[in-house]
């Protein structure tokens, strides 16, 4: 069973995370498509804190000895999932940056060629 302190901590943390993500969205610091995973994580953390019997049921079914171990396992799994998603995003951004650098170099080269032709 999850202790009262852990339940309160999880609920408070989930609400803070949820509100922070909403604020980032409102301030246009993060696009909605990237914020969805964080909103989902905050909801899952809230469910764990608000419905401990639900979590205890899964604790015994999955084979964890204590509910807190399951909570830690879930959090670690979510962090790995988020890391994977962020890695995909970074890889995509790297490709886009490389393409932009190439396009900029081509444009710069053409401008230099036109300058050289005009100066002749």
pLDDT at 55 over 90: no
pLDDT digits (tens, 9 = 90+) for 31-48: 888 899 889 989 988 998
- Give the residue-averaged pLDDT of 109-116: 93
pLDDT of residue 60: 87
How many C-beta atoms lie closer than 10 Å to residue 51's C-beta?
Answer: 13
- Give the residue-averaged pLDDT of 63-85: 86
Residues 6+ apart with CB under 8 A from 9: 49
Contact 68, 2 (CB under 8 A): yes
Contact 16, 39 (CB under 8 A): no
How many C-beta atoms lie closer than 10 Å to residue 20's C-beta?
Answer: 14
67 pLDDT band, cuts 50/70/90, is confident
Q: pTM of the entire structure?
A: 0.68
């Amino acid at each position: 069973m999850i202790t009262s302190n852990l339940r309160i901590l999880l609920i408070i943390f989930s609400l803070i995370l949820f509100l922070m993500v909403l604020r980032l969205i409102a301030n246009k610091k993060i696009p909605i498509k990237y914020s969805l995973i964080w909103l989902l994580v905050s909801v899952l953390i809230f469910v764990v804190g608000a419905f401990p019997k639900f979590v205890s049921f899964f604790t015994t079914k999955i084979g964890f000895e204590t509910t807190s171990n399951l909570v830690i396992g879930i959090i670690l799994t979510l962090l790995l999932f988020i890391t994977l998603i962020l890695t995909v995003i970074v890889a995509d951004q790297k490709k886009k940056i490389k393409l932009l650098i190439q396009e900029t170099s081509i444009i710069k080269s053409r401008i230099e060629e036109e300058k050289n032709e005009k100066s002749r």
